Chain A
C-alpha cells in the first residue's frame, strides 16, 4: 500500500515556538506538497517541491518555510508559531506525470498554537 506518513497526528505548541512538521512518502514521488485546511476555506497550498532541494511558494507561504533534503521527506517549518497558524496541515505527494497525476495525502497534523 502506498503511504504518506506525517510524524504527528496532534501537536500543541506555544506562540513563538519553532515548529517542525515532517512528512515521508514511500512511493518514490518527485512532487511533494504542504496544504493547510481550515473550515470554510478549503485546502490552501503553502509550499511545494518538484525535486530534492527545490521549493516553490504556494498561495500562502508567509510565516512558513520548507526543507527537502531527501526525495522521500518534505518538512514544513513554522519559524515562530502564531495563533493564526492553528490549523490542520496536510502533506501530499504525486509522481511527475503531469496534470492528471493524483495526489496522495497523509492523514494530517492538527496543530494548535496557544
Chain B
C-alpha cells in the first residue's frame, strides 16, 4: 500500500527558507510513470499547486512561485524535497505531497499534510 509522509519544521521565520521532505513507502518512486507534486492549502488561497518532479528529475513549477521554489528527488531514500526561500506570512499553509498520474493527470495518493507557520 503506497503511503506518503511529509516532514519538516512546523515554524519558519520570515525571510528564511522552508525545507520539507516527503518520504514514500510501499513502492519505489521511480518504478512507474508518475509525477510527485507539492501542493499547499491555506484559508486565504485554498489549494495551490507548487510544483512537481518526474522520476527522471525533470521539474515543473507554478509560475507564481518559481523564483523561490526548488524540488528535488532522492531515489535512494525514496524521498522528494521542497525548498522555498524568502518566506513570508503568506506562505503559512498545510503542505501536501501527492502522486500524480502521468495522464490523465489527477492525484491519486496524498500525504496527510504538514502545517507550516511563518512567524518570528
Say whether A associates with B: no
Chain B residues at the A interface, C-beta cutoff of 8 Å: none
Chain A residues at the B interface, C-beta cutoff of 8 Å: none
